Amino acid sequence: MKVLNREELRVAEGVLLQHLPKSYRVYAILYGINRNKPTTLEVVVDSWPDFKVIICRPDPKLAVEFMKTVTCFSTDEQTLRKVLTEENAIDWSTYLVIGGLDNSHTPLFKEVSSDREVNSRHDTLVRVLYLPEVSCLQSPATDSELESRISSLKPSHVSLVNQTWKFGGNQQGYIRHLISNFPSCCIMDEHGQPVSWILVYDYGALGMLYTLPEHRGKGYAKVLISTMAKKLLAESHPVYCFIEEDNSLSYKLFKNLGFIEDPSYRAVWLELNF
């Protein structure tokens, strides 16, 4: 295994661009690293420059503040098998989440984790929806009054986002990290308080989309997604999201805005617990 340096990371980003949408999560992580976004990850490949497996994993030299997460992309399962079984690409001795894994690799990960007596749990199956260019976007109509209330989240809004996120509750540090370092977009009420918002995760995906119940039915989610997508695409930032398989409302929302998918592709979150 080879740990990529700064110059090699830029080259790898260009290679992964050719493998979208399956490479979106790793590609977006490299996009952020190459633009100096904070990270505690290191990136390794099976060989260089012609790699078949690329893995983003916790950097052992750095303290991990949040959940330990591993992300990988592979064009060859035999090479991936070798990397997982012979080259210690993953620290199997600690709790890990394998995030956004190509579901076709799930049996391999379960097999290898079982051989190492590591428990694996098939957590969440998701679709990957993406917007390749702004011409695909079906933007909703907005008036000047609504546009004047579109803003960005601030650290003072961490508690509100944490309370309403389905995986929140004790995630203030992570949410503060996202709001402070990555794009966000919100709609304010007449008192300057957010009533609807969307964030970008540290792996580049849109997420945490939420509208307070008393403000629903006004089309705020469509406006936020559209506004954020335009902003990101103007910076050549990848625009994509993961939507859980059974979340038909969110799926319809993004599809109606022009997001597309590979119908045959699914990603999965796996939890590994030694």
- The pLDDT tens digits for 168-218 are 677 889 999 999 999 999 999 999 999 999 999 999 999 999 999 999 999
Label residue 35 exposed, middle or buried (CB < 10 Å: 0-12, 13-18, 19+): exposed
Q: Among 23, 26, 25, 24, which Cα is nearest to 44's?
A: 26
Q: According to the model, what pLDDT value does residue 168 have?
A: 66
The encoded tokens of residue 139 equal 């933007």
Asked if the domains at 2-127+268-272 and 138-257 fall in one CATH topology, the answer is yes
- pLDDT surpasses 90 at 272: no
Amino acid identity for residue 223 in this structure: V
Q: Among 94, 123, 119, 108, which Cα is nearest to 270's?
A: 123
Distance (Å, whole) CA 86 – CA 148: 56
Residue entry with tokens 């007449």: 190
- The pLDDT tens digits for 13-66 are 999 999 999 999 999 999 999 999 999 999 999 999 999 999 999 998 887 777
Fold of 2-127+268-272: Aminopeptidase (3.40.630)
Peptide bond into 49 cis (omega under 30): yes
CATH superfamily assigned to domain 138-257: Gcn5-related N-acetyltransferase (GNAT) (3.40.630.30)
pLDDT-based confidence at 274, cuts 50/70/90?
low
Average pLDDT over all residues of the chain = 94
What pTM value is reported for the model? 0.94
pLDDT-based confidence at 88, cuts 50/70/90?
confident
- Show me where the domains of the chain are located: 2-127+268-272, 138-257
